[in-house]
Amino acid sequence: MIPGLEPVALRELQALGQPRVWEVDGTHDELASLTPIRGRVCAEHRGNILEVEGSLSTIICLRCDRCLGHFNQELNVENRELIWLGSDPSDANVSTPELDAAVPEGLMECLDPRGRFEPERWVFEQLSLQMSVVNFCGDHCPGPPLQTSTPAASTPPTPLKDPRWQALRDLQASMQPPSDQPDD
Ligand SMILES: [Zn+2]
């Protein structure tokens, strides 16, 4: 839960008579980000439309679909959205030039005017939309691991070469007196 981004009743936003601004600084439960989500969200009730504007940024850690390596990706959102307050925008007699220009027909979000606006959900949706369907770490991607590695699949891995054993070997070495220099 991002602190301070509790849902707010649309009627409350209407009664406010001016835009409400949320400062965003926190982490979202469903979005594992490396850095807090930071930015701001602004919502203004304009009769039968809720205008929501926001600028947000965070860094998430993804796994590359090709090389399976992890990489960080910055997400930046700079968006403005008009949300229709009513059951169905298509059956309403709305024909403001602004709406026609901004929203492709039938793709507008709606909210029940008696319902609530959830700024945290809006933040989550906007950031989610920035994520690509295919995760690709970049031009330096080494490619799929099986194609680039030497064909050593037939030889079993040597445990001594496993770096995880290095600490144990160091410990063993430090506990044993050097065998080539007898202490006498
Ligand atoms: Zn990659």
Interval 156-176: pLDDT, tens: 555 556 666 777 777 777 777
Ligand 1 centroid vs 161 CA: distance in angstroms?
Answer: 25
pLDDT of residue 170: 79
pLDDT of residue 78: 96
Q: Is residue 105 part of a domain?
A: yes
Q: What percent of the chain has pLDDT over 70?
A: 73
Region 50-70: what's the mean pLDDT?
95
Q: Is beta strand 70-85 parallel, antiparallel or unpaired with respect to 116-117?
A: unpaired
Q: Is beta strand 37-45 parallel, antiparallel or unpaired with respect to 49-63?
A: antiparallel
**Strand stretches in the chain, DSSP E:** 8-9, 20-26, 37-45, 49-63, 70-85, 110-111, 116-117
Asked if 137 and 66 touch (Cβ cutoff 8 Å), the reply is yes
Number of folded domains in the chain?
1
71-130: pLDDT as tens digits: 999 999 999 999 999 866 554 555 555 555 555 555 578 899 999 999 999 999 999 999
Q: Is residue 159 part of a domain?
A: no
Ligand 1 centroid vs 62 CA: distance in angstroms?
Answer: 10
Q: Is residue 73 part of a domain?
A: yes
Range in 1-15, 44-58, 105-119 with the lowest mean pLDDT:
105-119
Q: Is residue 3 part of a domain?
A: no
Q: Is beta strand 70-85 parallel, antiparallel or unpaired with respect to 110-111?
A: parallel
Q: Is residue 180 part of a domain?
A: no
**Helix %, strand %, coil % for the chain, to 5?**
25, 30, 45
pLDDT of residue 16: 96
Ligand 1 centroid vs 42 CA: distance in angstroms?
Answer: 37
CA separation for the pair 24, 39 (Å, rounded): 5
| Type of residue at 93 | N
Ligand 1 centroid vs 74 CA: distance in angstroms?
Answer: 16
Strand partners, 79: 54
Give DSSP secondary structure letters for 38-62: EEEEEEEE-SSEEEEEEEEEEEEEE
pLDDT of residue 169: 74
Residue 178's Cβ-side half-sphere holds a number of Cα atoms within 13 Å equal to 5
Q: Is residue 143 part of a domain?
A: no
Region 56-79: what's the mean pLDDT?
94
Q: Quote the domain boundaries for residue 47.
A: 8-130
pLDDT of residue 167: 75
Q: Is residue 52 part of a domain?
A: yes
Q: Is residue 80 part of a domain?
A: yes
Asked if 2 and 26 touch (Cβ cutoff 8 Å), the reply is yes
Ligand 1 centroid vs 15 CA: distance in angstroms?
Answer: 51
pLDDT of residue 95: 54
Region 41-66: what's the mean pLDDT?
95
- Judged against a pLDDT cut of 70, whether residue 138 lies above it is answered with yes
Strand partners, 2: none
What Rg do the C-alpha atoms of the chain give, in angstroms? Answer: 27
Ligand 1 centroid vs 153 CA: distance in angstroms?
Answer: 21
